[in-house]
Amino acid sequence: MRISPLFEIKHKDKNSKARVGILYTKKGSIETPFFMPVATKASVKHISSKDLESIGVNAIISNTFVLHAKPGEKLIKKMNGLGNFMNFKGINVTDSGGFQMYSDRCYIGSTEEEVIFRNPFTGEKMCISPERDMQIQLDLDSDIAMCLDSMPLLHHTKDEIAEAVRKTSLWAERCRIYHNNAQKRIPLKKRQLLFGIMQGGIYEDLREKSAREIVKIGFDGYAMGGLALGESKEEEYRAIIAQKKIVPEDSPVYLMGAGHPVEVLEAISLGVDMFDSRFPTQNARRGTLFTSQGRIKIFNNKYERDSKPIDPECDCFVCKNYTRAYIRYQLAQEEGVGFRLSSYHNIYYMTRLMEQTRAAIKNKTFLKFKKRVARIYEKSDQDSKNNFKKFNISRKKKL
């Protein structure tokens, strides 16, 4: 029982499953496909909401579990919801916290009923049931909520992943029921959307099974979870294809956690509409920057005295005002400015990449565009490999 037909497909690519659509939320609409920077604790690390606005970021994703642990959903509710709290005008998505089952520091275990977490700030035990998770997300007042899922890891056995699929479906149903009841009296247009999450690891039969079960329950959108965790690209794309063919064509599809530019474009060609990942921001902090020429690793010695901007073809304020040498130095010193400038640039890059992708789909040049970007990254990855080789050779010579 879908509560609202809130997704419209405007353009379809003839040569792939890529499409441009509009997703309507209580906070406004957003054109798909789009990429969401991760704002776990109600901020994209080192980047203010005003910055996000100036970059053109229309959606971000925060974390229910972390915000519940601190400052607590009551406080955020009092501040008129997550969007107002952080003064972000775009769309706020909240991740349920299922992903924190990945983290040894937070995760204790889970029962049939609920997940048991450790509060990372105080060390106390916290039990989060699907119902509780829904209520927290409603209190946070995000525009899109995610179901509490049970996320298996890459190294888990097929049996364990099957068990995660079972539990994920069970919890999805409980999320759906609670979420519907809680919003019964709210007009459709003011309701928080709820997305289901599908699991299944790298096993196509489990992926399909999970997709059928989640689709049967019915959600405003469908997310693929448990991918981009170290499996091969082929395995990842096969998993996407397996679930995409089961999800209704007119529902938005969200690939959770994927954030490499090439991977994102590939997934778009398979019919995915939404992405989120720490990849651009975490890479930025660790000195890997995305450019029109592919990745550059700012810590490489050759950038020490480089007075060029990160990307001469980029028109973001970082590239217009700062040199590689300066950003390299600031990052090496672990200064906030280094984190801010590099993060700003990488988010700007991803945001432009998505804009260009949507334009390419409309212009019917999507596959060409995708190929071009893939080639650029192939080349810069090759440069990295060569660098590594060169490095090893010069090492051996010395020995």
Partner RNA sequence: GCGGAUGUGGUGUAACGGUAGCAUACCAGCUUGUGGCGCUGUUGGAGCGGGUUCGACUCCCGCCUUCCGCU
Footprint on this chain of RNA (rule: CB under 7 A)? 37-38, 40-41, 44-45, 61, 63, 66, 95-96, 98-100, 102-103, 105-106, 120-121, 146, 149, 151, 197, 199, 223, 225-226, 228-230, 256-260, 263, 276-279, 281-283, 285-288, 297, 299-302, 304, 332, 334, 336, 339, 381, 384-385, 387-388, 391, 395, 398-399
Contact 372, 292 (CB under 8 A): no
Q: Which residue has the tokens 């329950």?
A: 217
**CB of 392: closest distance to RNA in angstroms?**
8
Of 9 and 241, the one with the shorter C-beta distance to RNA is: 241
CA angle 239, 240, 243 (to 5 degrees): 85
C-beta atoms surrounding 249 within 10 Å: 12
Closer to RNA by CB, 25 or 346: give it.
346
How big is the chain by its Cα radius of gyration, in Å? 21
Single-letter code of the amino acid located at 79: M
Nearest approach in angstroms of CB 384 to RNA is: 4
Q: Identify which of residues 96 and 142 has a Cβ nearer to RNA in the complex.
A: 96
Give the tokens for residue 199.
């699991």
255 DSSP β-pair partners: 224, 275
* CB of residue 259 to RNA, shortest distance in Å: 4
Nearer to RNA, 11 or 45 (CB): 45
The answer to whether the CB of 83 falls within 8 A of the CB of 116 is no
Of 251, 250, 197, 260, which Cα lies nearest the Cα of 228? 260
Task: Sort 33 into a burial class: Cβ within 10 Å, 0-12 / 13-18 / 19+.
Answer: buried
* Distance separating alpha carbons of residues 295 and 320, to the nearest angstrom: 19
Q: Determine which helix (DSSP H) or strand (DSSP E) holds 146, and give its type and residue range.
A: strand 144-146
Closest approach of RNA to the CB of residue 78, in Å? 23
Tell me the closest approach of the beta carbon of residue 21 to RNA, in angstroms.
21
Q: Helices (DSSP H) in the chain: which residue ranges?
A: 49-55, 64-69, 73-78, 81-85, 130-140, 158-182, 204-217, 233-244, 261-269, 279-285, 317-321, 324-332, 336-363, 366-398
Cβ 185 to RNA shortest distance, Å: 28
What length is written for the chain? 399
Catalytic residue list: 95, 276
Whichever of 78 and 385 has its CB closer to RNA, that residue is 385
Whichever of 301 and 307 has its CB closer to RNA, that residue is: 301
**Contact between 125 and 116 (Cβ < 8 Å):** yes
- In the bound state with RNA, the residue whose beta carbon lies nearer, of 157 and 363, is 157
Cα(377)–Cα(374) distance, rounded to whole angstroms?
Answer: 5
Residue closer to RNA (CB basis): 33 or 184:
33
CB atoms within 10 A of CB 242: 22
Cross-strand bridge partners of residue 290: 295
Q: How far is the CB of 175 from RNA (least distance, A)?
A: 11
Task: Identify the H or E element spanning 126.
Answer: strand 125-128
Q: Facing residues of 256 across strands?
A: 276
**Which residues touch 396 (CB under 8 Å, ≥6 apart)?**
none
CB of 271 to RNA, least distance (A): 17
Tell me if 306 sits within 8 A of 325, measured CB to CB: yes
